[in-house]
A = this chain, B = another copy of it.
Amino acid sequence: MTNRDRIAGILTPNLTPVDGLGRVDEDRLRGYVDWLIEQGVDGLYPNGSTGEFIRFTAEERRRIVQIVVDQVRGRVPVLAGAAEANARETIAACDAYGAMGVHAVAIVAPYYYRLSPEGVYAYFREIADTVTVDVTLYNIPLFASPIDVETVRRLAFDCPRVIGIKDSSGDLPNMMRMIAAIRPQRPDFSFLTGWDAALVPMLVAGADGGTNATSGVVPELTGAIYQAVQEKRIDDAIELQYQLLPLFDAMISTGEFPEGFRAGARARGWEMGSGRQPTSKSQQANLANSQAEIQRLVAQVTGGMPSRPEDADPISEIVQRVLQQLG
């Protein structure tokens, strides 16, 4: 296996639209998936943190993956979040998603309890030794048990089914330590970053791509960043990162996560519903204020076009505009 096979590029951990009754809005989800693919994202990642997997039931999570796989129709790989209540339920979900045709599953480390590295290893090992689908690890120490470098290395060497890691820690030297420890023996192992604020540095340091919530709002921009790094236009890439950062900061600090990203999608014309986490009156007022600011930032990056897949070449257009501004 060669590095050709690695998962790479920018995958979108997509928001999950709900309707007025709080149910998964299938039509909206299908439309959004189409739009993302048309905008050039390199993959879909349903049931991630951005997709609020934990706020849906086990049945809903399966339906979400089914809809996404069905709508994608093989145009891009699907990486399906598969964490369930325990190892056995997670294994069952993995196999179900494998049968649906996902490229791989992504499994967050156990959350609520904070497990030791040995416990994290044992959890992933049991899953990886049993499932019939490829697995990517998902490290998000802010929300779940951390997966340290040594544990990633052990899993990469002991488990052929483990083919990559999505790391949302934002710890750049740690990304380099993982790449240095694993890539020589596992050239097929994929390193993806989930911390959009450091996307360019991570790619420059050797990451294969990212699963970035901002790509669900400004897929042209994250796509342009990836393309610039691929083409060794590092100065361009950094300039684009400087465009992405304030938008990311605004969205991540708005209300409860992922409320700010819902506001971002709304700015592109995608109404995702009001979310399942109850909000107080004062939160709703704050959110309304933030909406305007996010709208402004999105417009600044995209040129104000809410949702225009027909644009000839949005990426090069953005690069032009950025370069003009920064002259």
Residue positions of A touching B, CB distance < 8 A: 22, 49, 54-58, 85-89, 110-116, 118-119, 121-123, 125-126, 142-144, 170, 172-173, 176-177, 180, 197-198, 200-201, 204-206, 232, 234-235, 238, 241-242, 245-246, 249, 255-257, 276-280, 282-283
Contacts and interface: CB of A to CB of B under 8 A. Distances in A.
A86 B22 CA distance: 11
Nearest to A84: B57
Contacts of A177: 245, 249
30 contacts: A49-B112, A54-B112, A111-B111, A112-B144, A113-B143, A113-B257, A114-B143, A115-B256, A115-B277, A116-B256, A118-B283, A119-B279, A122-B278, A122-B279, A123-B278, A125-B278, A172-B172, A172-B198, A173-B197, A173-B245, A176-B197, A176-B241, A176-B242, A176-B245, A177-B245, A180-B242, A198-B201, A204-B204, A232-B234, A232-B235
Contacts of A115: 256, 277
A87 B276 contact: yes
Nearest to A180: B242
Contacts of A279: 119, 122
Nearest to A279: B122
Contacts of A232: 234-235
